[in-house]
Amino acid sequence: MLISDLQRKDIVNIADGSRLGKIVDLNINEEGLIINLIVEPLKILRRISFANEINITFKQIVTIGSDVILVNLNQ
C-alpha cells in the first residue's frame, strides 16, 4: 500500500464515531515501520480549522478498510 492510498482515506474514531480528517504525514522509524499518523482535522469552508494536527499511534489503529481507517483514541 502506498502512502498516497492512505492519504485518500477518512480517519474515523470508533470511540465516538467522529470523522477526524485526513492523513497529511507519517512518522517512520529507521526500520521503515510506521510510528504514528499525523492527521489534519476537518476544516470548515476548507480554510478554518478549530484544532491542531492529531497524532495517532500505530497501536491506536483498529483496521484499515478500502475507504476508511478506524482508530480508537481512547487507548
Q: What is the pLDDT of residue 75?
A: 65
pLDDT of residue 71 exceeding 90: yes
Q: Count the domains in the chain.
A: 1
Count of Cβ atoms closer than 10 Å to residue 63 Cβ? 9
Cα(6)–Cα(15) distance, integer angstroms: 21
5 contacts: CB under 8 Å, gap ≥ 6? none
Cα(54)–Cα(36) distance, integer angstroms: 10
Q: pTM of the prediction?
A: 0.81
Q: What is the CATH number of the domain that holds 9?
A: 2.30.30.240
* Grid coordinates of 62: 483498529
Range of the domain at 10: 3-71
Q: What is the pLDDT of residue 2?
A: 85
Per-residue pLDDT tens for 12-58?
999 999 999 999 999 999 999 989 999 988 766 555 555 688 999 99
3-state DSSP call for residue 17? coil
